[in-house]
Amino acid sequence: MLTLLRGSGEFRRLFLAHTVSRAGDAFNTVALLVLVFDLTGSGRGVAGAVMFEVLPVLLLGPIAGLGADRMPRRTLMVGADLFRTTVAVALAASTGSVAVAYAAAFGLSAGAAVFNPAAAALLPDVVGTDELVDANSALWTAAVTVQIALAPLAGLVIAVFGVEIAFLVNAATFIASALLLSRLRVGRTAAEPTGRSRGDILAGARTIIADRLLIRLAVVQVIASMSAGATSGLLVVLADRWLGVGPSGFGALLGAVGLGATAGPLVLRRFINAGDKRWLFGPFAVRGGVDLTLAAVASPVVAGGALTVYGMSTSTGMIAYQTTLQALVPAPTRGRTFAAYDVAWNVARLISLAIGGILADVIDVRFVYMISGLLLLVAATIGLTTNNTTTGKTSRPAHRESM
């Protein structure tokens, strides 16, 4: 990863833009939740903010994917950053209204819904196919590291100066990201030649259906989201009702996940290969075992160790997933393919949150984790029994041309 950062000025700019933007997200996430809770005084109010963050992915995802395939990807990313700057500044100026907070949550997520598929589709234009694993590892590690490091600082800044400063910090990071991205020498032209027929927003879904590995990966992702959507939202409930550690212990458990997510790419990078079923689907089996352990053992120490392993498996699986799509999906439909996966994941996540919350209150939060673990084991089994041979309707892009 260090060799790639030193040797590629284009990737270094992309890496710095990504890292700076993620640093701002750390401030924004803490500040927005604190603001909404202060204004509403209820968990339902906070849940509403989460809902407004998910909706743009469902409403705009297919259109954003089409834009990433038909418009200059770099331009889309810069535009999304400038739009989010405006939203963050507006939120800093109007912190007394929960309606404004919800609108800002929607707007920031809408900007991310445009930015993310363009960024994922752009990466193979910045680095070579054989460098994708290193590039994704570097981006993921930086994102997790700054979020772990800056979340406590964000809490301190909010306590001393108020949420307004945190939102302004977030706005400043978007400006810095846009300036860095504007200097990229790739992604300035449209991803597809001009003069083609009107864009088809379903092309990403058709690309997935046409390939055996991609469709199996989509099925596994949906099943995994049905699991993770509930458990990620209910970890605070598990910490209180089952582990008995309270809010401080919940923070420590989140820290364990973050520690594992940071360590995963650093420790296991040399073993990760794009398209390798063991890395695409094996992490789901590991995460399933962790959820079953959390449901069975009421030990905070065991839970912390298990969640560290969970973080490692999540990060390595995500890197394998991103790299596989970037290497396998043709450039003309890459943005729409990423968007299709994002939409499917978030639909399943919303369903999981709704069902999981009911089961946790009616039965027991441990039951939710037990069902989640079993779902993840099913997902892993489906994936690991996949025939990795593609159908020939998708093709691996050639190594990028030198810049």
Query: What is the distance in angstroms between the CA of the first residue and the CA of the last residue of the chain?
Result: 20
The reply to whether 147 and 273 lie within a common domain is: no
Cβ 273 vs Cβ 279: under 8 Å: yes
Cβ 203 vs Cβ 333: under 8 Å: yes
Domain that holds residue 228: 202-391
Burial of residue 139 (CB within 10 Å: 0-12, 13-18, 19+) is buried
Residue 190 confidence (pLDDT): 52
- Residue 140 within a domain: yes
- Residue 71 within a domain: yes
Band (pLDDT 50/70/90 cuts) for residue 154 is confident
Residue 86: pLDDT above 90? yes
The reply to whether 226 and 170 lie within a common domain is: no
Which of 164, 190, 216 is a domain's end point?
190
Cβ 3 vs Cβ 137: under 8 Å: no
- Residue 195 within a domain: no
- Residue 252 within a domain: yes
Cβ 54 vs Cβ 354: under 8 Å: no
- Residue 154 within a domain: yes
Cβ 228 vs Cβ 352: under 8 Å: yes
The reply to whether 303 and 337 lie within a common domain is: yes
The reply to whether 220 and 325 lie within a common domain is: yes
- Residue 98 within a domain: yes
The reply to whether 182 and 210 lie within a common domain is: no
The reply to whether 357 and 384 lie within a common domain is: yes
In order, the DSSP letters of 122-148 are HHHHHS-GGGHHHHHHHHHHHHHHHHH
Band (pLDDT 50/70/90 cuts) for residue 396 is very low
Prediction pTM value:
0.77
Total domains in the fold of the chain: 2
The reply to whether 335 and 358 lie within a common domain is: yes
Band (pLDDT 50/70/90 cuts) for residue 390 is very low
- Residue 367 within a domain: yes
- Residue 398 within a domain: no
Q: What is the CATH number of the domain that holds 181?
A: 1.20.1250.20
The reply to whether 234 and 183 lie within a common domain is: no
Q: Please state, in angstroms and rounded to a whole number, the distance separating the CA atoms of residues 37 and 89.
A: 20
Residue 402 confidence (pLDDT): 30
Residue 348: pLDDT above 60? yes
The reply to whether 81 and 184 lie within a common domain is: yes
pLDDT, tens digit, 9 for 90 and up, residues 301-336: 999 999 999 999 999 999 999 899 988 888 888 888
The reply to whether 2 and 131 lie within a common domain is: yes
> Which of 51-65, 85-99, 147-161: highest mean pLDDT?
85-99
> How many CA atoms does the CB half-sphere of 372 hold within 13 Å?
36
At 72 the three-state DSSP class reads strand
Residue 175: pLDDT above 90? yes
Which of 130, 163, 190 is a domain's end point?
190
